[in-house]
Amino acid sequence: MLWPDQTADPAVTSPPGRLRIIPLGGLGEVGMNMMVYEYGDDIFVVDCGHTFPEDDLLGIDLVIPDVTYLEERAARLRGIVITHAHDDHLGALPYFLRKFNIPVFGTPLVCGILRERLSEFDLDFDPELREVQPGETHSLGAARIEFIHVTHSVPQSVALAIHFPIGTVVHTGDYKIDTSPIDGSPFDFYAFARLGERGVLALLADSTNVERPGRTPSERTLYQPLEEIFDQAPRTIFFSCFASAIHRMQIVLELAERHRRKVFVAGLNMNRNLSVARELGIVDRATDVLVDLGHFKKVSPDRRVVLTTGSQGEPLSALSRIAVGEHKDVKIHKGDVAVLSSRIIPGNERAIYHVINHLFRRGADVYYEGVANVHVSGHAYRDDMATLIALCKPKYLIPIHGELRHLVLHKRLAVEMGFPEDHVFILQNGDVLELDGQRVDYRGRLEVSRVLVDGYDVSSFDEVVLRDRRRLSEDGMLLAVLAVSQSSGNLVAGPDIVSRGFLREEDNQEFFERCEAVARAAFEECARDEKQEWSIVKEKVRAKLKRFIKNETGRFPYILPVVLEI
């Protein structure tokens, strides 16, 4: 059921004997997952993720959920539960904990990674991280939360069976049904079947891969194609994946040991996550094969593997810097092999293919999704989703985690299975759904926005706009325009400096000529490959100009480098 627009005016507490479910993120989008459960005087939250900004949000690092609704009810907030160690489910938690000193429930891996992340933030208290294990049950107010092991692309992922006085709600988190997982802990069919036999009031289930027919391949299916790459690689293997893909790292470590190669890790988050996984005993074989990156040149090229971040083409990631020859420790050469072991996330195609082109240009053989079997998904395909619905036998189904098309197609899948159409509810962020054992009511929609993070600064969208306007009014703007040959990458005109609201160009000609020289020098300092990546060129020009202008004037105009291809 798709609900009409209607502003919500929820009471201070949910009505007696009724459960209120409110998504604050993750519905109608992939990422930024956050679900609020409210029963009587008790509120708790499941997951607290971030997403990455779109291209038009210049200068913004992260986008996180708007928690105004929770701030107004902070005294009733009992805790937050994290289903697994992926940033779209826990990445916003450091910002969340600045506002709420409440217990955080998660598996040892979740808590270990959070401790590392939280060490970067200056919180006024030591967060209470409560480690949980599958099979355990913990109480949060009137709710008893049972933790169920599910298989996913990161170890120690859990689904939740939330037992309320009015019935049981199952919240899957991210999952797939893997019968032969890397860590030997299979999907817990029995727990879901047991819940289905006893009665499930509502199932909130992952929708991301509903467009893919069949069943999700096991992570173990990657052994053979990756083994072939290790067999054939004449020189260094550069293996890129998400920093949280710990199962994937385990495969690489095993193959490296088998092929007598040493493994070097490039990327801060990958180093941290791997360290936590080793401490918890999740990853083995690391002691014998892992070598500090500083010893890279001391190992023969045919005996090296580099585990690196950057599979999504992030401009400042280790792989991007390696691809353009700017990494201080690692260089790539002809005959090396590069593997991008991740899905090409929509919106990242251009950045990813730029990196791939640079790798090919340097003579590497490159394997990536679409040309090689080097990645399997961590999310359930259609048949897995149908299996979960059949196991749980819910009275109501609420598709979560996905864009609107995913949610609607998840509903269609359930209806095709014979599920009553009017028992499936398509929600959007901010929708307020109330239910008990007999009926479901829509209570309108909260006014929720997205909160933008710039470094450690957290602002709502309107505040960001006001901040930019204030900055422009106080310090003005400076444009540095560079005309660059598309074929050669050489500077053919400029840099031209244009000032608005900063200094009068007529009265400060010498100063602006020096700005032009600084911008020109910044461009010339870029390596040849970097000059084909305008994002890198712009950032270097902006940083040099910012430092020069600050030292000369003590002012901070808005600096906007512009590169024109000719």
Percent of the chain at pLDDT > 70 equals 91
| Statement: residue 85 has pLDDT above 80 | yes
Residue pair 36/23 in contact (Cβ under 8 Å)? The answer is yes
Instruction: Note whether 168 and 201 are within 8 A (CB).
Output: yes
Instruction: Decide: residue 339, CB within 10 A, 0-12 exposed, 13-18 middle, 19+ buried.
Output: buried
CA 7 vs. chain centroid, Å, equals 30
CA distances from 208 to 211, 311, 437, 493 (A): 8, 20, 28, 47
Phi/psi of residue 80, each to 5°?
Answer: -135, 140
- Burial of 406-439, coded b for 16+ CB within 10 Å and e otherwise, reads bbbbbbebbeeeebeeebbbbbbbbbbbbbbeee
**Three-class SS of 375-431:** CCCCCCCHHHHHHHHHHHCEEEEEEECECHHHHHHHHHHHHHCCCCHHHECECCCCE
Output Rg (C-alpha) for the chain, integer angstroms: 26
For 95-129, what is each residue's pLDDT tens digit?
999 999 999 999 999 999 999 999 888 888 889 99
Model pLDDT, residue 74: 95
Read off the pLDDT of residues 196-230 as tens digits, 9 standing for 90 and up.
999 999 999 999 999 999 999 999 999 999 999 99
Rounded Cα gap, residues 215 and 325, in angstroms: 40
| Global pTM value | 0.81
If one compares 524 and 299, the residue with the highest pLDDT of the two is 299
- Angstrom distance (rounded) from CA 260 to CA 9: 64
Q: What confidence score (pLDDT) does residue 550 get?
A: 84
Question: Which of 451 and 264 is assigned the larger pLDDT?
Answer: 264
Q: 295-331 pLDDT, tens per residue?
A: 999 999 999 999 999 888 887 788 999 999 888 889 9
Q: Which residues sit opposite 396 in a β-bridge?
A: 202
Instruction: Please give the pLDDT value at position 552.
Output: 84
Q: β-strands 157-164, 167-171: how paired? A: antiparallel
Q: What is the pLDDT of residues 221-265, one digit of tens each?
A: 999 999 999 999 999 999 999 998 999 999 999 999 999 999 999
Ranking 42-46, 368-372, 464-468 by mean pLDDT, the lowest is 464-468
Burial track 464-481 (b if 16+ CB lie within 10 A, e otherwise): beeeeeeeeeebbbbbbb
Residues 6+ apart with CB under 8 A from 393: 196, 197, 199, 200
CA distance 77 to 103: 10
* Three-class SS state of 24: strand
Percent helix, percent strand, percent coil in the chain, to nearest 5: 35, 25, 40
Q: 10 Å Cβ neighbour count for 331?
A: 14
**C-alpha separations of 482 from 68, 262, 302, 523, 555 in Å:** 43, 44, 42, 9, 23
Q: Can you tell me the mean pLDDT for 172-189? A: 94
pLDDT for position 124: 83
Q: What is the rounded CA–CA span in Å between residue 381 and residue 211? A: 7
Structure confidence at residue 8 as a pLDDT band (50, 70, 90) = low
C-alpha 94/C-alpha 296 separation (Å) is 34
Provide the H-helix boundaries in 233-378. 246-258, 268-279, 286-289, 318-323, 349-361
Q: Average pLDDT over the chain, rounded to whole? A: 89
Instruction: Say if CB 208 and CB 30 are below 8 A apart.
Output: yes
Domains of the chain in start order, with CATH, are 19-214+377-453 (3.60.15.10), 219-368 (3.40.50.10710), 476-565 (3.10.20.580)
Residue 2 CB partners (closer than 8 Å, separation 6+): 426
Rounded Cα distance, 543 and 528, in Å: 19
Residues 6+ apart with CB under 8 A from 483: 491, 492, 493, 494, 564, 566
Type and span of the H or E element at 54:
none
Residue 12 confidence (pLDDT) above 90: no
